[in-house]
Amino acid sequence: MSQFQISIGAFWVIFWTLDLALSVFIVWLCEKNAKRIDIFFDKVDEFLNKVQNLCKLKRKSPHC
């Protein structure tokens, strides 16, 4: 094997190792913040339900 092939092999080993480490870090971060993320989406759902209810009320109103 030439020096060039060894260098490319080493590059790919380092690249895939860093890629795996980044994936593990992202999963860990998401799990750590899962409660906050759930609370955020609950608030979004609550807001969208309020908007939907307002739209339903507007359609029923004779003035609209």
One digit per residue, the tens of pLDDT, for the chain of length 64 reads: 677 777 888 888 999 999 999 999 988 888 888 878 788 888 999 999 988 888 777 776 665 4
* Alpha-carbon gap, residue 45 to 39, rounded angstroms: 10
Residue 22 pLDDT = 93
Distances from the Cα of 36 to the Cα of 40, 41, 45, 47, 62, angstroms? 6, 9, 14, 17, 41
Q: Rounded to whole angstroms, how far apart are CA atoms 31 and 52?
A: 31
- Three-state SS for 9? helix
What tokens appear for 32 in the block?
């750590």
Q: Taking the model in full, what pTM does it have? A: 0.47
Q: Given this model, what pLDDT does residue 62 score?
A: 60
If you search the block for the tokens 């080493």, which residue do you land on? Answer: 10
